[in-house]
Amino acid sequence: MTEPTLSRDAAHRRVLSNNLRDAARNSTELGSDPLRQRLGFGGRWTRRHWAHASLFASLGALVAAIVPGFSNTLQAPAGAQRTTMSLSLPPLALSKQQGQTGDSWQIVSVNHGETLSHLLDRLDVPETDQQRLLEHPGLKKSLAKLKPGTELAFDMPVGADGKPAALRSFRYDRDDSHRVELSLAGEKVAEKVIERPTETRTVVLSGKVGGSLYRSARKVGLSGGAIDTLTDDIFKYDIDFNSDVGANDRFSVVVEQTWREGELINTGPVLAATFTSGGKLYSGFRFVRDGKPEYFTADGRPLKRSFIRMPIPYARITSGFGMRRHPVLGRMRGHMGVDYAAGSGTPIMAAGDARVSFVGWKGGYGRTVILDHGRGYSTLYGHMSAFGNIRAGQRIAQGTMIGRVGSTGLATGPHLHYEFRINGVHRNPLSITMPPPEPLSGVQLAAFRSQVGPALTRIAKVENIIYAGDTGTRVAAALGRRGKKG
């Protein structure tokens, strides 16, 4: 008979057992067998020898016990059983079953150039429903100019053929807090105005410039318009945002946010702002004077200068004020202005708020504009290639585009000839001390101070929390002192 086949684990244990038994038997004999030589003796066993033998026996038993575990681990696991259960869907709402109004609203976003008629055609609204809706009084006027991104809602149940059967209702937002819903269910279009409560919060948005002022300001929640207000209106005259701003400079802006049903729907104009650049703190505060919003320092002085030095930004001066040889006439004569070289067509801005006193051709000046700024101040702009959208007698604001650079009249190339006059006398626009703008006074100053105090308190608190430590404390203290002075 043949022995039954042993498993791999049993055979392994048997080999180990036989080896240990042979080693023990040979250890009783005299001589120099391999085991005795490895253990370092050649005669009678001592206590130390028996200890070594016991150690080897224990190790062998331990290996015999561990190896089967590894063997079982390497075996492929049995396939897991999967059970499929049938789950019932929730019951269909009663309004869905009965086809009631409100079960098929479609929210549509207006694309650029689209009108309400375009949207109705896009949704395949039947002609009869379109006519009834468009004839509703006031609808065309309310939705005459749809901005891209505006959302309108149409309640249109789908028929058995998968196409809209009819337009049952239409709704739109008349303003931030009122929604108009028009129902076409009856013979007449029924209008319902739904009030949607809004909440206005005054918040302070603060951050560091980092790698980009625009990206950092957008990240904390400022709109593109608010960022332009910071750079072009409030701090334009004090900070060069092309070269003076560093990564560690920071800003804080006070704005009013309008929220509706947990959603931010509108952000108002900048009410106050601070900018710390190169360790120096600048601030500006919004105040409406004579119906026109302006920005002022904490003590009520306008941030906007009466005049800008250069009607063309980043232009190169090619001829200064004084005597010179005329490049066309070839003789010495007084040059009563400053020439700025720029490419033909470059926009020219009004140096200050003014009334347009002349627009037209003026001898060697070519196409010319003259502005009257009041209090005896006037400016002249010559050699234009074209005029802006202005006319004589019109009042314009500082920075308005009044024309474009050209070479009309006595000119050898495209440039702007700019003159500055006080009571009819020519002055050098590069060296004249510009008149300071009128500060607030009386009742206006008192009203302004009542607004500045709360704004300063908000900014100081945020600066102290965000920029904790000595820097934040100094900023908060400086703002606090300005608030007391105001």
Question: Which of 235, 271, 289, 417 minimizes the C-alpha distance to 341?
Answer: 417
Q: How many domains does the chain have?
A: 3
pLDDT surpasses 70 at 443: yes
Q: Which residues of 396-408 are buried (b: 16+ CB within 10 A; e: fewer)?
A: bebbbebbbbbeb
Last residue of a domain, one of 195, 215, 230: 195
Q: What is the CATH number of the domain that holds 110?
A: 3.10.450.350
d(CA 322, CA 426) in angstroms, rounded, equals 10
What six digits make up the tokens of 179? 């929604």
> Does residue 391 form part of some domain?
yes
The verdict on 422 and 481 lying in the same domain is: no
The verdict on 423 and 323 lying in the same domain is: yes
Mean pLDDT of 294-306: 90
Percent of the chain whose pLDDT exceeds 90: 28
Last residue of a domain, one of 378, 397, 427: 427
What pLDDT does residue 95 have? 41
What pLDDT does residue 30 have? 42
The verdict on 291 and 371 lying in the same domain is: no
The verdict on 167 and 136 lying in the same domain is: yes
The verdict on 189 and 206 lying in the same domain is: no
HEC string for 216-232: HHHHHCCCHHHHHHHHH
> Does residue 142 form part of some domain?
yes
Angle at 275 between CA 270 and CA 280, to 5 degrees: 150
CB 205 within 8 A of CB 272: no
The verdict on 175 and 219 lying in the same domain is: no
pTM of whole model > 0.75? no
Q: What is the pLDDT of residues 266-286, one digit of tens each?
A: 889 999 999 998 888 899 999
The verdict on 252 and 169 lying in the same domain is: no
What pLDDT does residue 294 have? 92
Q: Which residues pair with 413 in a beta bridge?
A: none
d(CA 98, CA 243) in angstroms, rounded, equals 67
Last residue of a domain, one of 143, 176, 195: 195
What pLDDT does residue 11 have? 55
The verdict on 229 and 250 lying in the same domain is: yes
**187 phi and psi, to 5 degrees?**
-70, -35
The verdict on 206 and 272 lying in the same domain is: yes
Q: State the angle between helix axes of 442-466 and 470-485 in degrees (0 to 180), rounded to the nearest 10.
A: 170
The verdict on 150 and 174 lying in the same domain is: yes
For the chain, how many residues are written?
486
* Mean pLDDT, the chain, whole residue set: 78
> Does residue 439 form part of some domain?
no
What pLDDT does residue 35 have? 46
Beta carbons within 10 angstroms of residue 164's beta carbon: 19
Which sign does the torsion angle of CA 225, 226, 231, 232 carry? positive
pLDDT surpasses 90 at 116: no
Q: What is the pLDDT of residues 29-38, one digit of tens each?
A: 444 444 444 4
What pLDDT does residue 81 have? 56
> Does residue 167 form part of some domain?
yes
Residue 252 makes CB contacts below 8 A (sequence gap 6+) with 204, 205, 206, 273, 274, 459, 462, 463
Residue 154 makes CB contacts below 8 A (sequence gap 6+) with 105, 106, 108, 119, 123, 125, 167, 169, 170
> Does residue 209 form part of some domain?
yes
What pLDDT does residue 429 have? 83
66-80, 115-129, 268-282, 457-471 — which is least confidently predicted? 66-80
Residue-range definition of the domain harbouring residue 185: 102-195
Mean pLDDT of 48-68: 64
More confident residue, 8 or 194: 194
The verdict on 289 and 209 lying in the same domain is: yes
pLDDT surpasses 70 at 4: no
Q: Which residues pair with 263 in a beta bridge?
A: 260
d(CA 183, CA 243) in angstroms, rounded, equals 59
> Does residue 85 form part of some domain?
no
Percent of the chain whose pLDDT exceeds 70: 70
> Does residue 66 form part of some domain?
no
> Does residue 43 form part of some domain?
no
d(CA 371, CA 380) in angstroms, rounded, equals 7
- Alpha carbon separation from 484 to 61, 342, 404, 456, 459 (Å, rounded): 89, 47, 47, 10, 14
More confident residue, 483 or 379: 379
The verdict on 321 and 423 lying in the same domain is: yes
Q: What is the CATH number of the domain that holds 321?
A: 2.70.70.10
At residue 302 the predicted structure's pLDDT band, cuts being 50, 70 and 90, is very high
